[in-house]
Amino acid sequence: MAYNLLKGKRGIITGALDSNSIAWKVAEKAHEEGASFVLTNAPIAMRMGEINALAEKTSSKIVPADATSVDELTNLFTQSQEILGGKIDFVLHSIGMSVNIRKKIAYPELNYDYYAKGVDVSAMSLHKMLSVAYKMDALNDHASVVALTYAAAQRTFPFYTDMADIKALLESIARSFGYHYGLRNKVRVNTVSQSPTKTTAGTGIKGFGDFFDYADAIAPLGNASAEDCANYCVTLFSDLTKMVTMQNLFHDGGYSTTGVSDLIMQKAGIKEA
């Protein structure tokens, strides 16, 4: 059921790689809720071509941009305002990549070139995006920026290696820029800390499948799906949450505040079923 929560709003949605991507679901929901938006991804990701189907389905245009390039981000914000006919009301940062994770390098042995690349792509890109928008004055007053993150920023999950540190930086950038952009234009900046989700980025992590089941058995509501995440993002883009900013918001079925569950104790043989 749609509520027209984003009627008349203009957005930029990054990170829709294929139909499993969280950003893909956000685009579908934002379209259902009446938004118009530009889709963007790294030029290399465009080669797979799947994003064209999403653009058609949501009547959107695509503007390629590598999120590490200030020039390409400047072009993204310039073109998006032209295409959509005005300043931007919401931005989804849904970008994550770690070469160390891809190459299954353990935390004590991280490669620093890969580490730096991960920081640039997955965290500093949020600063670059916000800085470009800030200097161009490309966001409307009360606009909402949401970046996706993971609970390894607060607690240790060994398999998440350098992305744990990178997500901590991402969350800090959201707070710091949230202050400056909030003061000037009442722009909100938040991070959503999502459950493990079966996407290209998610399943690229060693042991992801086992951990997905573990998290599902801990959270009283179970893991939140990509569709659930998209619904939550839509509320954050809407005017209903206009005083929420500089927050890291857990969207994880209660996982992050559950110490242990009966189910996990049963599975461990500590408690009878």
Binding site for ligand NAD (CB under 6 A): 14-15, 17, 21-23, 41-42, 45, 66-68, 94-97, 121, 148-150, 194, 196-197, 199-202
- Give min distance, CB of 266 to ligand NAD, in A: 25
Nearer to ligand NAD among residue 86 and residue 177 (C-beta): 177
Residue 226's alpha-carbon distances to 17, 31, 101, 155, 158, in angstroms, are: 13, 16, 21, 22, 23
From CA 20, how far away is CA 23, in angstroms rounded?
9
Helix residue spans in the chain (DSSP H): 22-32, 43-46, 51-57, 70-84, 99-102, 112-119, 125-136, 161-185, 200-203, 208-218, 226-237, 262-267
Nearer to ligand NAD among residue 48 and residue 240 (C-beta): 48
- Give min distance, CB of 121 to ligand NAD, in A: 5
Nearer to ligand NAD among residue 36 and residue 197 (C-beta): 197
- Give min distance, CB of 163 to ligand NAD, in A: 7
Paired with 214 in beta bridges are none
From CA 41, how far away is CA 84, in angstroms rounded?
18
Nearer to ligand NAD among residue 198 and residue 262 (C-beta): 198
Nearer to ligand NAD among residue 38 and residue 95 (C-beta): 95
- Give min distance, CB of 87 to ligand NAD, in A: 22
Residues 224 and 251 sit within 8 Å (Cβ to Cβ) = yes
- Give min distance, CB of 272 to ligand NAD, in A: 32
- Give min distance, CB of 62 to ligand NAD, in A: 12
From CA 76, how far away is CA 254, in angstroms rounded?
36
From CA 240, how far away is CA 164, in angstroms rounded?
31
Note the Cα 17 to chain centre separation in Å: 13
Nearer to ligand NAD among residue 78 and residue 140 (C-beta): 78
